[in-house]
């Protein structure tokens, strides 16, 4: 709230004789508050002694002398008030002065020159200029034009143009609500969106005022005119609206009735006019007194209309128009006195904000409808009447704006009316279906476009190229499949051949010593036995592997079998395996030939397979051996006795006397030859075989016997050990299949090399011996 006294200005009307001496003076510098001094001219008729006051001084905010321009008046007086109105405050500018002092000229302006435009047109121009500059608010401007004549109000903006007298204009009456707010009935408000429209309204009001004017009734003199600009402003989206009114008031002439010298009707009018001005003065006086609680606004229509402007919520400015001629001095002083009282009035100005009643009504209506809908849902009373076309259209608009709204938080507010909710769902479904159909048609059109594109020569060439590439790929695939099949067939043939070789080997192993040349067999056997053992040992696990492979292949799909063959072929060790395979085959062939030669040798010397492993000594051989041993023993005894007889006295024998004193036991007898022999002979094991006495011969005999015993021992051990079986099948039986074929072959090679070497070492002397003793 802003507290502000009513601003008072003075304007002196130009006189015919400018700056009449001694009438008035303006002091602009007096303590920065201008003052107007009116000097009463001395009248000789009053006599020599004259005690009358000769001058009167009045203070104003500003005093405009005779040469003041209309523009200066607007800038200094009207413009600040217009700015307050634009800000939302009420404002009033009224001109007060005697008839002909220039009130109308100041408020409305003169018609002769454009520069004579008064406050109303200049303020309209300024306000619309500012409205165009400010886009932050939405402004609405309305114009009303009221004339008060003889306490009656008339609407000067009657558009009918039928008024020939003031009484033809619509009469305006005052209504007051419980809050003591004044409402003017029949006063039309006309919206003006531009300055031109507003000026047209001003022109219309002035025209009506002039038409109604008669020579007997000069409206401009005897009536009050109030031109009001109603300005509303609202920020976009806001329901708060600001209302401001600017009253531009041209009051009737304030001259005193007595001075007018009129009678009859004019006197009555003058009384009314003065009465209304009198009531205005009463209001002003009441407002200027601090302790007055009652302000007589209701005494006249004019004070009722200007209630806010006088001591209320308004920024009010008064222009005291003065015609400072000698004959008008008293009226001028009266005007200035009135102004001085007005200057004492303090107004309390506040912003006129309110909720837009139209928006309020819409909001309340919507709330009522929502409550009704909710109540219908709660009580189960659904409305069944069909929605109107307008309602359906409104709903579809809501759905469209809802779908177009990018805000994910947006909601489709249709209230609690089930009819509207159902319609929304149906409409959305329809939109979805339409979109699907549209999507399908667009897809089919795309396919058509694609087909059309294929007919393009460039596209066709590319298509043909792709087809050729596809054919080429098919051919490559066929070639690869055929290669795989051939590889598979090769692998199967190799497996078949290997299994056939294994069968042959097994057949040859069933008779490892077939008849043939024994020597050749023995020689060949010595050189090839390890290889044969290696081949055979390699074959057996490979054969079992083949079985396993076959089983695995039976389980594997054709594709996996082919993949396995490719894996084998491409494996890093495949070449080594192939080489080993060839070596094994070669060794197998050599062993096979050796076995055949051995068998041939055996058949030639007549050794059967049973003879090779005698279960017990031959009786004939034992008998002959015993005879031979007996003969040898006798021979040795005879030789020994003769030798002892010849050497009985020799010194060498003396050293052996203790041996002689010992009883002659077979053992001692057996040891004698050893004692008689050289040092090497003495170390030899005890034997029952009679020695010849010849050291060389005996040494040979003992070496032979030792070797034979050793061989026999080994042979016996060999017969007891399954590893040393002469049957290669038995030897193969302990060799377990090894995933590492090369390692397995190496192990078996070494193992069987040892076995065969032992076997041959053991068997060769026996064979020789058998050959020697066998008839």
Ligand X SMILES: Nc1ncnc2c1ncn2[C@@H]1O[C@H](COP(=O)(O)OP(=O)(O)OP(=O)(O)O)[C@@H](O)[C@H]1O
Annotated binding site for ATP: 97-104
Least distance from C-beta 103 to ligand X, angstroms?
A: 4
Q: Work out which of 188, 220, 532, 718 binds ligand X, going by CB under 6 A.
A: 220
- Cβ closest to ligand X, residue 335 vs residue 498: 335
- Cβ closest to ligand X, residue 190 vs residue 224: 224
CA-based nearest residue to 329, from 415, 259, 242: 259
- Cβ closest to ligand X, residue 14 vs residue 357: 14
101 touches ligand X (CB under 6 A): yes
- Cβ closest to ligand X, residue 251 vs residue 536: 251
Q: Work out which of 7, 13, 232, 698 binds ligand X, going by CB under 6 A.
A: 13
- Cβ closest to ligand X, residue 13 vs residue 59: 13
* Residue 603 CB burial class (10 angstroms; 0-12, 13-18, ≥19): middle
Q: Which stretch binds ligand X (CB under 6 A): 92-100, 289-297, 467-475, 732-740?
A: 92-100
**Cβ-proximal residue to ligand X, closest one:** 102
Least distance from C-beta 109 to ligand X, angstroms?
A: 9
Q: Which three-class secondary structure state does DSSP give residue 748?
A: helix
Least distance from C-beta 100 to ligand X, angstroms?
A: 4
Size of the site for ligand X (CB under 6 A): 15
Give the 3-state DSSP-derived string for 35-62, with helices as H, strands as E and coil as C: EEEEECCCCHHHCCCCCCCCEEEEECCE
118 touches ligand X (CB under 6 A): no
CA-based nearest residue to 231, from 239, 217, 243: 243
Q: Work out which of 56, 87, 100, 693 binds ligand X, going by CB under 6 A.
A: 100
Q: What separation, in Å, do the N-terminal and C-terminal C-alpha atoms of the chain show?
A: 160
The pair of structure tokens assigned to 125 is 């121009």
Least distance from C-beta 43 to ligand X, angstroms?
A: 26
- Cβ closest to ligand X, residue 224 vs residue 307: 224
Task: Give the whole-angstrom CA distance, residue 683 versus residue 677.
Answer: 10
Q: What is the enclosing helix (H) or strand (E) of 27?
A: strand 24-27
Q: Which three-class secondary structure state does DSSP give residue 1?
A: coil
- Cβ closest to ligand X, residue 80 vs residue 110: 110
408 — alpha (psi -120 to 50), left (phi > 0) or beta?
alpha
Q: Work out which of 88, 91, 102, 311 binds ligand X, going by CB under 6 A.
A: 102
**DSSP code at position 133:** H
Least distance from C-beta 193 to ligand X, angstroms?
A: 30
Q: Which stretch binds ligand X (CB under 6 A): 93-101, 230-238, 432-440, 703-711?
A: 93-101
Q: What is the dihedral of CA 382, 383, 384, 390, to 10 degrees?
A: -140
Q: How many CB atoms lie within 10 A of CB 207?
A: 13
221 touches ligand X (CB under 6 A): yes
**Residue list 238-297, contact with ligand X (CB under 6 A):** 253
The pair of structure tokens assigned to 602 is 């055996």
CA-based nearest residue to 295, from 275, 280, 305, 317: 280
Least distance from C-beta 206 to ligand X, angstroms?
A: 12
Q: Which stretch binds ligand X (CB under 6 A): 77-85, 103-111, 295-303, 639-647?
A: 103-111
Task: Give the whole-angstrom CA distance, residue 284 versus residue 309.
Answer: 11
- Cβ closest to ligand X, residue 99 vs residue 304: 99
In the annotated binding site, the residues are 97-104
Residues 680-709 as x/- pattern, contact with ligand X by CB under 6 A: ------------------------------
- Cβ closest to ligand X, residue 305 vs residue 324: 324
Least distance from C-beta 285 to ligand X, angstroms?
A: 23
CA-based nearest residue to 774, from 553, 621, 556, 569: 621
Least distance from C-beta 262 to ligand X, angstroms?
A: 13
Residue with tokens 């042979």: 715
Task: Give the whole-angstrom CA distance, residue 308 versus residue 245.
Answer: 10
Q: What is the dihedral of CA 456, 459, 460, 462, to 10 degrees?
A: 160
Q: How many CB atoms lie within 10 A of CB 599?
A: 21
Phi, psi of 164 (to 5 degrees): -105, -15
Task: Give the whole-angstrom CA distance, residue 65 versus residue 112.
Answer: 21
- Cβ closest to ligand X, residue 89 vs residue 272: 272
Q: Work out which of 80, 110, 737, 765 binds ligand X, going by CB under 6 A.
A: 110
Residue ranges with strand state E in 181-287: 182-185, 190-191, 224-234, 240-250
Least distance from C-beta 101 to ligand X, angstroms?
A: 4
- Cβ closest to ligand X, residue 221 vs residue 332: 221
Least distance from C-beta 177 to ligand X, angstroms?
A: 33
Q: Which stretch binds ligand X (CB under 6 A): 97-105, 238-246, 511-519, 741-749?
A: 97-105
Least distance from C-beta 112 to ligand X, angstroms?
A: 8
**Residue list 495-554, contact with ligand X (CB under 6 A):** none
Q: Which three-class secondary structure state does DSSP give residue 194?
A: coil
Q: Which stretch binds ligand X (CB under 6 A): 98-106, 269-277, 414-422, 642-650?
A: 98-106
Q: Which stretch binds ligand X (CB under 6 A): 96-104, 308-316, 643-651, 663-671?
A: 96-104
CA-based nearest residue to 732, from 742, 741, 722: 722
CA-based nearest residue to 381, from 373, 389, 371, 391: 373
Least distance from C-beta 68 to ligand X, angstroms?
A: 7
Q: Work out which of 103, 224, 230, 592 binds ligand X, going by CB under 6 A.
A: 103
Least distance from C-beta 337 to ligand X, angstroms?
A: 18
Q: Work out which of 105, 297, 338, 756 binds ligand X, going by CB under 6 A.
A: 105
- Cβ closest to ligand X, residue 302 vs residue 414: 302
**Residue list 313-342, contact with ligand X (CB under 6 A):** 321
Q: How many CB atoms lie within 10 A of CB 372?
A: 15
Q: Which stretch binds ligand X (CB under 6 A): 94-102, 237-245, 531-539, 700-708?
A: 94-102
Alpha helices in 380-456 (DSSP H): 389-404, 418-454
Q: Work out which of 7, 104, 309, 347 binds ligand X, going by CB under 6 A.
A: 104
Task: Give the whole-angstrom CA distance, residue 449 versus residue 314.
Answer: 75
Residue ranges with strand state E in 112-239: 138-149, 152-155, 171-176, 182-185, 190-191, 224-234
Q: CA distances (Å), 602 to each of 513, 711, 727, 771, in order?
A: 7, 20, 16, 12
- Cβ closest to ligand X, residue 220 vs residue 313: 220
The pair of structure tokens assigned to 342 is 């007005």
- Cβ closest to ligand X, residue 99 vs residue 599: 99
Least distance from C-beta 366 to ligand X, angstroms?
A: 52
Least distance from C-beta 66 to ligand X, angstroms?
A: 7
693 — alpha (psi -120 to 50), left (phi > 0) or beta?
left
Q: Work out which of 14, 606, 722, 743 binds ligand X, going by CB under 6 A.
A: 14
**DSSP code at position 328:** G
Task: Give the whole-angstrom CA distance, residue 613 versus residue 759.
Answer: 12
- Cβ closest to ligand X, residue 14 vs residue 722: 14
Q: Interface with ligand X by CB under 6 A: which residues? A: 13-14, 97, 99-105, 110, 220-221, 253, 321
């Amino acid at each position: 709230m802003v507290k502000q006294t009513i601003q008072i200005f003075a304007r002196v009307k130009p006189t015919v004789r400018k700056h009449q001496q001694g009438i008035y003076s303006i002091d602009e510098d007096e303590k920065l508050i201008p003052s107007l001094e009116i000097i009463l001219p001395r009248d000789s008729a009053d006599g020599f002694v004259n005690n009358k006051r000769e001058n009167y001084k009045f203070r104003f905010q500003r005093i405009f002398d005779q040469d003041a321009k209309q523009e200066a008046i607007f800038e200094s007086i009207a413009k600040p008030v217009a700015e307050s109105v634009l800000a939302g405050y009420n404002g009033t500018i009224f001109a007060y002065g005697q008839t002909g002092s220039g009130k109308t000229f100041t408020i409305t302006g003169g018609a002769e020159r454009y520069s004579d435009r008064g406050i109303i047109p200049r303020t309209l121009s300024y306000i619309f200029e500012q409205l165009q500059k400010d886009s932050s608010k939405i402004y609405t401007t309305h114009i009303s034009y009221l004339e008060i004549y003889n306490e009656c109000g008339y609407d000067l903006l009657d558009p009918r143009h039928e008024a020939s007298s003031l009484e033809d204009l619509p009469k305006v009456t005052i209504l007051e609500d419980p809050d003591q707010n004044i409402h003017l009935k029949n006063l039309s408000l006309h919206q003006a969106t531009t300055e031109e429209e507003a000026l047209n309204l001003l022109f219309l009001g002035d025209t009506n005022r002039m038409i109604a004017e008669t020579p007997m009734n000069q409206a401009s003199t005897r009536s009050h005119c109030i031109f009001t600009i109603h300005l509303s402003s609202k920020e976009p989206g806001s329901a708060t609206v600001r209302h401001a009114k600017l009253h531009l008031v041209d009051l009737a002439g304030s001259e005193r009735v007595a001075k007018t010298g009129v009678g009859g009707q004019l006197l009555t009018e003058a009384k009314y006019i003065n009465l209304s001005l009198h009531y205005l003065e009463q209001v002003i006086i009441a407002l200027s007194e601090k302790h007055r609680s009652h302000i007589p606004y209701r005494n006249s229509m004019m004070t009722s209309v200007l209630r806010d402007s006088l001591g209320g919520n308004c920024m009010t400015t008064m222009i005291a128009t003065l015609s400072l001629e000698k004959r008008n001095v008293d009226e001028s002083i009266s005007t200035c006195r009135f102004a001085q009282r007005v200057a004492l009035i303090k107004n309390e100005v506040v912003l006129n904000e309110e909720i837009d009643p139209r928006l309020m009504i819409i909001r309340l209506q919507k709330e009522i409808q929502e409550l009704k809908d909710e109540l219908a849902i709660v009580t189960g009373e659904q409305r069944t009447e069909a929605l109107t076309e307008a309602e359906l259209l409104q709903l579809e608009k809501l759905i469209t704006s809802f779908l177009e709204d990018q805000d994910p938080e947006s909601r489709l507010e249709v209230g609690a009316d089930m009819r509207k909710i159902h319609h929304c769902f149906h409409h959305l479904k329809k939109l979805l279906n339409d979109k699907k159909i549209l999507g399908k048609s667009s897809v089919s059109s795309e396919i058509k476009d694609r087909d059309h594109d294929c007919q393009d020569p460039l596209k066709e060439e590319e298509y043909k190229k792709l087809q050729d590439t596809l054919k080429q790929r098919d051919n490559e695939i066929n070639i690869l499949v055929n290669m795989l099949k051939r590889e598979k067939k090769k692998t199967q043939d190799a497996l078949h051949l290997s299994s056939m070789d294994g069968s042959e080997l097994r057949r040859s192993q069933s008779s490892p010593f077939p008849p043939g040349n024994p020597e050749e067999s023995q020689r060949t056997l010595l050189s090839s036995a390890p290889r044969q053992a290696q081949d055979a040992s390699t074959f057996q696990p490979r054969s079992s592997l083949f079985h396993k492979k076959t089983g695995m292949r039976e389980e594997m799909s054709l594709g996996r079998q082919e993949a396995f063959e490719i894996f084998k072929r491409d494996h890093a060790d495949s070449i080594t395996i192939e080489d080993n395979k060839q070596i094994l085959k070669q060794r197998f062939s050599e062993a096979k030939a050796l076995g055949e030669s051995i068998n041939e040798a055996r058949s030639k010397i007549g050794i059967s397979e049973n003879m090779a492993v005698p279960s017990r000594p031959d009786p004939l051989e034992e008998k002959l051996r015993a005879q031979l041993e007996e003969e040898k023993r006798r021979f040795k005894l005879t030789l020994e006795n003769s030798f002892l007889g010849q050497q009985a006295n020799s010194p060498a024998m003396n050293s052996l006397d203790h041996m002689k004193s010992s009883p002659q036991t077979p053992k001692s007898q057996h040891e004698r030859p050893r004692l008689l022999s050289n040092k090497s002979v003495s170390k030899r094991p005890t034997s029952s075989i009679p020695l010849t006495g010849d050291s060389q011969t005996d040494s040979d005999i003992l070496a032979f016997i030792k070797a034979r015993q050793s061989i026999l021992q080994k042979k016996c051990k060999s017969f007891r050990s399954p590893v040393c079986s002469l049957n290669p099948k038995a030897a193969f039986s302990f060799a377990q299949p090894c995933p590492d074929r090369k390692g397995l072959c190496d192990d078996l090679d070494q193992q069987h090399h040892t076995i065969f070497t032992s076997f041959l070492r053991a068997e060769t002397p026996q064979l020789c011996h058998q050959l020697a003793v066998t008839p």
